[in-house]
Amino acid sequence: MKKIILAANWKMNLSLNEANDLMKAIDFVNHDNLKTMIFPSSLFLKSILDKFSDKTIIGSQNISEFENGAYTGEISAEQVKSLGITTTLIGHSERRSIFGESNNLVNLKIKRARANHLNIILCIGESLEEREQEKTYDILEAQIVEALDSISSEDFSSIIIAYEPVWAIGTGKTATAEIAQDAHAFIRKMLEKLYPGSEKTEILYGGSVKSSNIESLLAQKDIDGALIGGASLKADEFSKIIAIANQRFS
């Protein structure tokens, strides 16, 4: 039976009180085969970590490609690490499309994160236009190859991939389980080419995941979990997603 990871990306949502309330209201389940993670606003990382680190893994949504220094408004990997945080998202499609992050920048961030021993969820995915022009696999290949340029197999073993088709993020349009599975199988094949023996790399699906579709997604051979935005902001819905995933082990 494969292991499952359920990661919640809260994006730029919630006040500190709301974040605390949501943490208290979620029914977390964690065991050897099921891991949950929460990515809150970086403003709240320390406070959420101090209160809830026994419930789940807490991670950062982003880090700077730079070391510490004169980079107003940025957050360094070293600072994140100094809080006791172990994991960061890198290359989320909103970072790429709104803040102009290129594959090359994503690569620099991965290097910075690994220099500070952070685990990484690397997000990749094609836009609607790219899918319609049948460029999906070329885009995924470029995102993987360029993001992982000169990353050693040892560092790669600390990376989880999240496949998030941009057209499915926050739109209510989930990729069908078959479309997601096809992309995941392609990604797995690519990773095996780059890092022979890496077939156990976790590949999460993201994009309008909810309690009504999590079961069919997790039933796919190459889908090892989910990165969940909107549905993770509702305690009932996220708890339901966790419970459905956990049923796979009963």
- List contacts with ligand PGA (CB under 6 A): 9, 164, 169-170, 206-209, 227-231
Shortest distance (Å) from residue 196 CB to ligand PGA: 29
Nearer to ligand PGA, 9 or 136 (CB): 9
Tell me if residue 60 falls in helix, strand or coil. Answer: strand
Shortest distance (Å) from residue 230 CB to ligand PGA: 3
Q: Under 8 Å CB-to-CB from 76, ≥6 apart: which residues? A: 63, 64, 66, 67, 68, 112
Shortest distance (Å) from residue 162 CB to ligand PGA: 7
Q: Is 65 an active-site residue? A: no
Nearer to ligand PGA, 144 or 227 (CB): 227
Cβ atoms of 174 and 213 within 8 Å: the answer is: yes
Active-site residue identified among 101, 130, 164, 184: 164
| CA 196 to each of CA 12, 60, 119, 152, 246: distance values in angstroms, whole numbers, following the listed order | 37, 29, 20, 12, 30
Shortest distance (Å) from residue 84 CB to ligand PGA: 24
Shortest distance (Å) from residue 91 CB to ligand PGA: 11
Cβ atoms of 226 and 206 within 8 Å: the answer is: yes
Nearer to ligand PGA, 156 or 238 (CB): 238
Phi, psi values for residue 162, rounded to 5°: -120, 115
**b/e code 150-166 from CB counts within 10 Å (16+ = b):** ebeeebbebbbbbbbbb
Q: Is 92 an active-site residue? A: yes
- Chain length of the chain: 250
Structure tokens at 41: 């606003």
Which residue's beta carbon is nearest to the bound ligand PGA? 229
Instruction: For residue 212, give the DSSP letter.
Output: T
Active-site residue identified among 65, 92, 101, 184: 92
Nearer to ligand PGA, 34 or 209 (CB): 209
Cβ atoms of 2 and 224 within 8 Å: the answer is: yes
In one letter, which amino acid is 137?
Y
Nearer to ligand PGA, 105 or 231 (CB): 231
Catalytic residues: 92, 164
